[in-house]
Structure 1
Amino acid sequence: MPRPSLSENAAKRKGEKLAQKTVGAAKSVIETASNLVDTTKKPRKRTTSNASIPTLKFTTPNKVEGQLPQFNPQQYQVSDPLSPPKSMPQVTQSQFVSASRIYDGGMRALQLTGKAFDLTRERFVVEGKKAKTFSAGVQTATAFEKVKGDLTDYQIQLQNNQQKKIELGTAKLRTTTVQSIAVETEKELSEKLAQAQAGAELAQLQTQEKQTKLAEFKLQLTPQV
């Protein structure tokens, strides 16, 4: 068999290095996915409201490029389709299968992580509905208590009105009694006036009678000539 040329050996070494980089990138993806899964399992600490959110890594667009896999499109440029350059990065079949398995596992891990985020989102939605429902229940209870207060005020006002009716009846009875007393007092005073007038008239008649007797007695005492 002919020995491989230096260019072929160099291309092979480049392919092996690229495969190692690919495997390393795949491992990094798996580690990142596993870290995300672990962080979803661990209880999160409450943080204060800041301009940047520590749990979100993609805060600025200039950080996106640093997280992309290394890729040089010029290494895959082909001028002659029938004679591809031997310097093109290559991997063996076993390296391809191994790296593909790692990538597939990483994508499955990311899909599971995404499902965990979907579940957490739905949980937050349900928690929000629970809070709104509780608030509606509190508002309903408050409305019931207001109705109870209105009913209590009505009953108090009803009792006050009944007491005022009783006081009104007592006042009317008192007025009627005073009027009756006034009528009877007026009658009594009229009788006393009549009695006083009769007494005065009787006294006047008695006075006249006594004056007449006195005059007759004086005539008897006068000597006759």
Structure 2
Amino acid sequence: MPRPSLSKNASQRRGKTLAKKTVSKAASTVKAVQNTVKQVKEAAQYSEMSGLNPLGVESVQDELPEFQPADYRVKDPLNPPDSLPQVSLGEFIKASRIYEGATRAVQLTGKAFDLTRERLLVEGKKAKTFSAGVQAATAYEKVKSDLTDYQIQLQNNQQKGIELGTAKLRTTTAQSIATETEKELSEKLAQAQVGAELAQLQTQEKQTKLAEFRLQLTPHV
């Protein structure tokens, strides 16, 4: 039985490879459309998480690069099939540079996120510290207000104490005046009584003299 020619085998392999690539591209297109629809639904569902890409276990596979292990399957290590995916050295170097540059870019982006995380943590600490300062200032103002109320009450009490002392002094003065007035009136009363008694004695003395004088005027029988 004649063996098939190498050119025919190569043509068949290229045809199979082209068919696989066509099917793979079609599947990729369908998957891309499905992913787009899914992302739109998830974006609508998680619209409140602005700036964040929703990620669930079921969508992890969609984040992975496309990879078909069957395309790299080799049965005879000494006779690898022509259908294996291949790139030229120039394409490899170019793609490697792109991946290396993209890796550096995403690493720098990660550092930016690290810096932003630390900055936000510090901002949070700053806000908490500011809040503690506001609370301390509020407590200080409350104490200051209490101290002011105390000083006002103290002054009110002192003023009332002065008023009480003045009232007591007025009472004492009034009592002293009343006592002295009572003494003065008592003295005047005593003097009036003495004067009345003296006048009475004088009247009696004059009456006695008048009676004696009348007796002298009366003729003796």
TM-score range for the pair, normalised by the shorter chain length? 0.5 to 0.7
TM-aligned CA distance change 1:52 to 1:194, over 3 Å: closer
The corresponding residue for 1:62 is 58
Unaligned ranges ≥5, structure 2 = 29-45
Q: Does 1:99 align with 2:95?
A: yes
The answer to whether structure 1 residue 5 and structure 2 residue 7 are counterparts is yes
2:165 corresponds to which residue? Answer: 169
CA distance, structure 2, for counterparts of residue 198 and residue 133 of structure 1: 95
Write the distance in 2 (CA, Å) between the matches of 1:159 and 1:104.
Answer: 81
Map residues 143-158 of structure 1 onto 2, 5 A cutoff. Answer: 143-158=139-154
Name 1:192's counterpart in structure 2: 188
Q: Quote how far apart the aligned CAs of 1:181 are.
A: 1.1
**Larger RCO, structure (CA 8 Å, separation 6 or more):** 1
2:109 is matched with which residue? 113
Deviation at 1:135, TM superposition (A): 2.1
How many Å separate the matches in 2 of 1:10 and 1:112?
47
Q: Give 1:51 deviation, angstroms.
A: 6.2
CA 1:111–1:141: 2 relative to 1, 3 Å: same
Distance, in Å, in 2 between the alignment partners of 1:224 and 1:6 is 212
Instruction: Please give the alpha-carbon distance, in whole angstroms, between the structure 1 residues aligned to 2:51 and 2:155.
Output: 65
TM-score, with structure 1 as normaliser:
0.65
- Find the counterpart in structure 2 of residue 125 from structure 1: 121
Aligned length: 194
Which runs of 5 or more residues in structure 1 are unaligned?
26-49
Judged with a 3 Å threshold, the aligned counterparts in structure 2 of structure 1 residues 99 and 12 are, in CA distance, closer, same or farther, namely: farther
Residue identity matched to 2:156: N
Aligned counterpart for 2:84 among listed residues 59, 83, 88: 88
Q: CA deviation at 1:188?
A: 1.0
Contact 1:10 1:87 in 2 (8 A): no
Q: Return 211-220 or 63-72, whichever deviates more.
A: 211-220
